[in-house]
Amino acid sequence: MLGGRVDIQIHKAGRIALVGTSAFTIPGNLRDVQTISADQAISIVSNGKRLAPIDIINVTDLAIFPRRMNGAVELRLVFVVNVNQKSMRVAERVLVDAENGSILEVRSLIHDAAQTH
């Protein structure tokens, strides 16, 4: 589950004071919706990119993505595709829906911090 977490607070006396989670009930048949392959996910992400021989696009995982829309959450099975385009200084994580091939999220893996004086 991408973005899932569990929080546990322990009282100084050693007792558990709070347990919280962002977990969702995962349908048992979620894996059955997969209709595209990892290679097809790579092709979808590669489409329209200018790739040099040093650039790498690969699938690193098949995961569950809680897609939030209009106050609701829909669980989607996704391929996690990493793009490392050294030729263009691009590094990103792309989530490709494993059912219909749509791109659900693109997140840059490059984080620049502005310098302050």
pLDDT digits (tens, 9 = 90+) for 41-61: 999 999 988 999 999 999 999
pLDDT at 73: 85
Q: Considering only CA atoms, which of 111, 104, 110 is closest in space to residue 83? A: 110
Determine the Cα–Cα distance for residues 108 and 64; give it in Å rounded to an integer: 19
CA distance 31 to 26: 10
Confidence of residue 30 (pLDDT cuts 50, 70, 90): confident
**pTM listed for this prediction:** 0.78
pLDDT of 47 reads 93
Mean residue pLDDT across the chain: 87
Largest CA distance in the chain: 59
With cut-offs at 50, 70 and 90, classify the pLDDT of residue 114: low
pLDDT for the residue numbered 113: 63
Count of CB atoms situated within 10 Å of the CB of 103 = 15
If you average pLDDT over residues 63-92, what whole number do you get? 91
Number of helices followed by number of strands (H, E) in the chain: 1, 6
Question: Is the model more confident about 71 or about 4?
Answer: 71
